[in-house]
């Protein structure tokens, strides 16, 4: 039944950005109404938050029914319905369930959607939410060979986790995982891909993502997206193909997909390949290096695009080059009283020399929290400074069961040739890379249990001149912590 509601604060999206924002604003304004509108039945909440050091943080994620949030914050109402229309000038939102909301302040946290290589092909699958991960698992159980396209975090974890199925991994770069690390680190990981699964039992310390098994976590009834998965999204889901043996990963470097065919299309195609030699498969992938692979299906893991669509029509929302909602240093979009946070937005302020936006779990939490504080400051007519968390990029994660810490300009992003690298590597154990410019540390990649993150974070933040230490900086026989204390 259609109804009209006046609410002070409306937040859109039950992912980590939206939930963090809603919780923060609800606790700061206990006598004002807060509405969280979300397309997914479960909401994602941060638990066990731990500030590891000045900027590094770790936490677990739990999918919870919305009632948990409502019990915790009596002024917070969670409504499971997708937003279909925004009329920013009128401060009005319309949801699919027919309800209309008049807000004072609105924060859009609708996340991203998979950038599918090819739309509407039955043999191409994107992985984003619990549903799509389960769909992948189901299809994998009958598969003998899959082709994975993409070189980001999802592809990296996927190719490592899949067992009992041959994986052809096509990447456009010279090395694996180049969103996160350089060719040296990629080389460090390669043996892990070749190792038998039983040997892959290195200790791991990382935030744990838990899914509810009530069958929730599904996309909205109207086909809207569920929340993006996060750290350890594959934990508890076995990725096993139809083969008994672990069939290995074959990497095709520096190539892109030219075309994906169904079996029928392939047979009709004019490709000069000897078709009969490729065997009979449900799908075929033609790469631009000339190779053709038959497979059961293709996983398109080529990133996400900000999910802005429902909000654009009739509004004057400024979009960034990556199609995110451009926000200023107060998380404000170009429409008055409309803020945005998480994967849907693009930081439009001049970033600190040591920070860059990456669509990651930690930043979704930080932006959601900061957006709430900015909304509050605006309402209270207070000033607010850009939060310290945007000073230095930090990310703790896990790849191939190794702890990975990324700090600052960890890949010398934007530094051109104006930098120097120091590397220390012990095969199978650790990989440490430091990026220096003008003798000062501006970034680091730490793989394995290096215990260096806090010291390096300090060295990056205080911009101490390290020229006189030279390579000693990574000398394993020196306790660097004592050195700089
Ligand atoms: P989301 O979590 O996507 O939430 C968006 C919310 O908006 C959802 O609740 C959705 O239902 C709702 N919504 C969408 N449209 C509407 C609408 N019209 N109306 C109402 N509600 C709407 N990051 C890491 O840091 N580490 C990792 O290891 C990692 N692994 C990942 C693995 C996978 C498979 C994927 C897909 C992502 C991974 N990420 C990882 C990225 C991370 O999950 C995202 O950066 C983060 O979840 C973004 O949070 P968000 O709140 O902005 O958006």
Q: What is the DSSP letter of 407?
A: E
* Residue 201 pLDDT grade (very low, low, confident, very high; cuts 50, 70, 90): very low
* Ligand 1 binding pocket, CB closer than 6 Å: 12-18, 37-40, 82-83, 109-112, 127-128, 153-154, 224-231, 233, 307, 310, 342-343, 359-362, 364, 397
- Does position 214 have pLDDT exceeding 50, yes or no? no
* Residue 207 pLDDT grade (very low, low, confident, very high; cuts 50, 70, 90): very low
| Residue given tokens 């890949």 in the structure block | 411
List, in sequence order, every residue forming a beta bridge with 455; answer none if it has no partner. none
What distance in angstroms lies between residue 227's CA and the mean position of ligand 1's atoms? 4
What distance in angstroms lies between residue 404's CA and the mean position of ligand 1's atoms? 21
Supply the pLDDT for residue 74. 96
* Ligand 1 pocket mutation pick from 125, 239, 361 by most atoms within 8 angstroms of CB: 361
The pTM assigned to this predicted structure is 0.88
What distance in angstroms lies between residue 64's CA and the mean position of ligand 1's atoms? 15
Minimum mean pLDDT range among 171-185, 335-349, 421-435: 171-185
Q: Exposure of 236 by Cβ count < 10 A (0-12 exposed, 13-18 middle, 19+ buried)? A: exposed
Supply the pLDDT for residue 226. 65
- C-alpha 344/C-alpha 286 separation (Å) is 32
What distance in angstroms lies between residue 18's CA and the mean position of ligand 1's atoms? 10
E strands along 301-439, which residues? 304-306, 325-327, 338-340, 345-347, 394-399, 402-408, 420-426, 430-437
For the chain, percent of residues with pLDDT exceeding 70: 89
* Ligand 1 pocket mutation pick from 65, 222, 228 by most atoms within 8 angstroms of CB: 228
What distance in angstroms lies between residue 450's CA and the mean position of ligand 1's atoms? 30
Mean pLDDT of 209-227: 42
* Ligand 1 pocket mutation pick from 230, 313, 404 by most atoms within 8 angstroms of CB: 230
For the chain, percent of residues with pLDDT exceeding 90: 64
**Shortest-distance Cα residue to atom 17 of ligand 1:** 82
* Residue 336 pLDDT grade (very low, low, confident, very high; cuts 50, 70, 90): very high
* Strand pairing report for 249-252 and 209-210: unpaired
- Does position 259 have pLDDT exceeding 70, yes or no? yes
* Residue 235 pLDDT grade (very low, low, confident, very high; cuts 50, 70, 90): low
* Residue 202 pLDDT grade (very low, low, confident, very high; cuts 50, 70, 90): very low
Mean pLDDT of 252-269: 93
Supply the pLDDT for residue 447. 96
What distance in angstroms lies between residue 386's CA and the mean position of ligand 1's atoms? 23
- Does position 222 have pLDDT exceeding 90, yes or no? no
pLDDT tens digit string along 39-89? 988 899 998 899 988 999 988 888 889 999 999 999 999 999 999 999 999
Mean pLDDT of the chain: 88
**Shortest-distance Cα residue to atom 26 of ligand 1:** 231
Handedness of CA 401, 403, 407, 410 (dihedral sign): negative
Buried b (16+ CB within 10 A) or exposed e, 257-290: beebbeeeebeeeebeeeeeeeeebbbbbbbeee
């Amino acid at each position: 039944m259609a109804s009209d509601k006046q609410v002070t604060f409306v937040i859109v999206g039950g992912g980590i950005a939206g939930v963090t924002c809603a919780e923060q604003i609800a606790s700061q304004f206990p006598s004002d109404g807060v509405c969280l509108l979300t397309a997914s039945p479960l909401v994602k909440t941060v638990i066990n938050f731990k500030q590891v050091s000045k900027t590094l943080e770790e936490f677990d994620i739990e999918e919870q029914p919305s009632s948990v949030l409502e019990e915790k914050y009596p002024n917070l109402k969670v409504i499971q319905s997708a937003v279909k229309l925004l009329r920013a000038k009128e401060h009005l939102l319309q949801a699919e369930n027919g309800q209309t909301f008049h807000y004072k302040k609105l924060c859009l946290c609708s996340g991203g959607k998979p950038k599918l290589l090819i739309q509407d092909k039955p043999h191409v699958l994107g992985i984003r939410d619990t549903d799509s991960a389960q769909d992948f698992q189901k299809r994998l159980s009958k598969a003998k060979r899959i082709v994975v396209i993409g070189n980001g975090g999802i592809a990296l974890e996927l190719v490592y986790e899949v067992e009992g199925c041959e994986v052809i991994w096509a990447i456009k770069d010279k090395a694996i995982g180049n969103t996160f690390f350089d060719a040296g680190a990629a080389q460090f990981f390669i043996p892990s891909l070749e190792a038998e699964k039983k040997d892959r039992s290195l200790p791991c310390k990382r935030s744990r993502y838990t899914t509810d098994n009530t069958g929730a976590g599904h996309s909205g009834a109207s086909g809207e997206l569920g929340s993006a998965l996060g750290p350890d999204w594959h934990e508890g889901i076995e990725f096993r193909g139809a083969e008994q043996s672990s069939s290995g990963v074959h990497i095709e470097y520096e190539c892109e997909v030219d075309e994906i065919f169904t079996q029928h299309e392939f047979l009709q195609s004019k490709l000069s390949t000897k078709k009969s030699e490729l065997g009979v498969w449900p799908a075929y992938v033609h790469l631009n290096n000339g190779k053709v692979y038959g497979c059961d299906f293709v996983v398109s893991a080529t990133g996400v695009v900000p999910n802005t669509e429902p909000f654009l029509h009739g509004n004057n929302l400024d979009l960034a080059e990556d199609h995110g909602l451009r926000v200023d240093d107060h998380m404000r979009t170009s429409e008055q009283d409309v803020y945005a946070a998480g994967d849907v937005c693009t930081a439009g302020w001049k970033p600190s020399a040591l920070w860059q936006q990456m669509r990651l779990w930690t930043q979704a939490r930080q932006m959601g929290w900061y957006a709430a504080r900015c909304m509050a400051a605006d309402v209270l007519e207070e000033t607010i400074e850009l939060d310290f968390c945007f000073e230095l990029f930090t990310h703790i994660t896990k790849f191939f069961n190794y702890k990975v810490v990324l700090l600052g300009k960890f890949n010398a992003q934007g530094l051109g040739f104006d930098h120097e690298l120091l590397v220390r590597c012990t095969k199978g154990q650790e990989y440490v890379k430091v990026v220096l410019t003008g003798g000062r540390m501006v970034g680091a990649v730490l793989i394995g249990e290096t215990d260096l993150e806090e010291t390096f974070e300090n060295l990056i933040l205080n911009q101490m001149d390290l020229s006189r230490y030279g390579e000693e900086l990574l000398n394993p026989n020196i306790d660097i912590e004592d050195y700089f204390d």
